[in-house]
């Protein structure tokens, strides 16, 4: 008789098109694990407590958590990892012996493709565009792993950004300067430039903008590292422009795999077969806009 499968899932809203089931089920299949990953669209914040307590009762293995629930889940967990506690946001939950532990693998997953450039980033300036959950994870990653001199945070609403930085504690722990999106000249001073907004995502209408960073102002310099968190399409207009300028282009698919790889290890104790997963994922994501 076959053993019952261990169930994992993604908690989010309107996330039917997520690539996480493909990533984790490919890894489960390759490793021959009796596990399955699926999607749970939870309709409202009020239902999160029931969802988590139900999962504990059902003996599920764990969850990924995405927009808009990364902060919502926090009060219902038994424990937080230091990374999750630092930014009060959880993207991975491990359920073990009836205990729910929250982790944040976005931080190390974001940092992974930058580690090979670590020496050249230390003590330099960084530009991050956007101030949502992904930007906060990036700030924490730079603070933890790369000790930059200054992080310029380019946003359209400075008041909102200040509040988010205060809530996350980054106003005290990281060298962040808030800057206005429509005055991006200082990007030229930066070793790494990060897009942490959804601009550039396939199928979105952003009022004609293809990139949050103007591509006609010679802002991107040869040798700079340009990191686009958007992973669909794999080659965003920003990454294409970066490559044309002689910059080093880091695609969002690397963060997507990096955070998933760490979640997979937390759930299974096993190394995800990353190269095989990357191949399957690249075959699935449309190569053009
Ligand atoms: P979020 O919490 O909704 O934050 C989005 C940020 O982008 C906000 O600061 C928002 O500004 C800004 N923004 C949105 N539309 C904009 C526009 N038209 N002009 C200027 N700024 C705009 O989302 P998130 O979780 O941080 O995710 C951001 C992006 O990163 C998404 O595309 C997501 O798919 C991607 N991401 C990728 C990975 C990966 O593994 N590669 C992981 C996490 C996230 P306001 O606050 O002013 O609205």
For residue 237, pLDDT beyond 80 = yes
Report how far ligand 1's centroid is from the alpha carbon of 5 (Å): 34
Percent of the chain whose pLDDT exceeds 70: 99
Q: Containing H/E element for 153?
A: strand 150-155
Report how far ligand 1's centroid is from the alpha carbon of 194 (Å): 11
**What integer is the mean pLDDT of 137-146?**
96
Percent of the chain whose pLDDT exceeds 90: 87
Report how far ligand 1's centroid is from the alpha carbon of 85 (Å): 21
- Can you give the pTM of this predicted structure? 0.94
If we measure between CA atoms, which residue out of 71, 63, 74, 22 comes closest to residue 41? 63
Report how far ligand 1's centroid is from the alpha carbon of 271 (Å): 29
Please tell me the distance from the alpha carbon of residue 108 to that of residue 144, in angstroms, as a whole number.
9
For residue 204, pLDDT beyond 90 = no
From 134, 180, 181, 255, mutation site for ligand 1 pocket: most ligand atoms within 8 A of C-beta: 134
151: which 2 tokens? Answer: 């992080």
From 130, 135, 195, mutation site for ligand 1 pocket: most ligand atoms within 8 A of C-beta: 130
CB 220, CB 242: distance < 8 Å: yes
What are the pocket residues of ligand 1 if the criterion is a CB atom closer than 6 Å to any ligand atom? 67, 106, 130-135, 156-157, 160, 181, 196-199, 201, 206, 212, 229-231, 252, 255-256, 259
**What integer is the mean pLDDT of 61-73?**
96
Residue ranges and CATH numbers for the domains of the chain are 6-104+254-284 (3.40.50.10860), 108-251 (3.40.50.720)
If we measure between CA atoms, which residue out of 7, 46, 43 comes closest to residue 28? 7
Please tell me the distance from the alpha carbon of residue 202 to that of residue 232, in angstroms, as a whole number.
6
**What integer is the mean pLDDT of 93-107?**
97
For the CA of 201, the nearest atom of ligand 1: 32
Q: DSSP 3-state assignment of 141?
A: helix
- Residues 6 or more apart from 131 whose CB is under 8 A from it? 153, 155, 160, 161, 164, 165, 196
Neighbours of 133 (CB within 10 A): 21
Report how far ligand 1's centroid is from the alpha carbon of 197 (Å): 3
- Residues 6 or more apart from 5 whose CB is under 8 A from it? 34, 35, 36
From 70, 88, 160, 172, the catalytic residue: 70
More confident residue, 31 or 4: 31
Sorting pLDDT into bands at 50, 70 and 90, what band is 289?
Answer: very low
- Catalytic status, residue 2: no
For ligand 1, atom 28: residue with the closest CA: 197
For residue 288, pLDDT beyond 60 = no
């Amino acid at each position: 008789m076959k053993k019952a499968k261990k169930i994992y899932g993604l908690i989010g809203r309107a996330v039917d098109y997520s690539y996480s089931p493909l990533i984790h089920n490919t890894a489960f299949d390759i490793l021959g694990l009796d596990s399955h990953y699926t999607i749970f669209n939870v309709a409202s914040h009020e239902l999160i407590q029931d969802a988590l307590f139900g999962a504990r009762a059902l003996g599920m293995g764990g969850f990924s958590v995405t927009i808009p629930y990364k902060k919502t889940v926090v009060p219902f967990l038994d424990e937080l990892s230091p990374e999750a506690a630092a930014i009060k946001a959880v993207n991975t939950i491990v359920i073990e012996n009836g205990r729910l532990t929250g982790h944040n693998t976005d931080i190390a997953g974001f940092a992974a493709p930058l580690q090979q450039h670590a020496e050249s980033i230390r003590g330099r300036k960084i530009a991050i565009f956007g101030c949502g959950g992904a930007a906060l994870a990036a700030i924490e990653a730079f603070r933890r792993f790369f000790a930059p001199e200054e992080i310029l945070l380019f946003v359209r609403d400075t008041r909102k950004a200040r509040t988010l930085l205060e809530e996350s504690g980054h106003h005290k722990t990281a060298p962040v300067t808030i800057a206005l999106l429509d005055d991006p000249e200082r990007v030229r001073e930066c070793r790494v430039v990060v897009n942490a907004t959804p601009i550039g995502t396939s199928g979105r209408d952003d009022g004609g903008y293809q990139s949050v960073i103007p591509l006609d102002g010679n802002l991107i310099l040869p040798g700079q590292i340009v990191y686009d968190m958007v992973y669909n399409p794999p080659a965003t207009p920003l990454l294409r422009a970066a490559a044309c300028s002689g910059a080093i282009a880091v695609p969002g698919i690397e963060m997507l795999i990096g955070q998933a790889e760490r979640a997979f290890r937390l759930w299974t104790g096993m190394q995800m077969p990353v190269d095989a997963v990357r191949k399957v994922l690249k075959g699935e994501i449309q190569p053009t806009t």
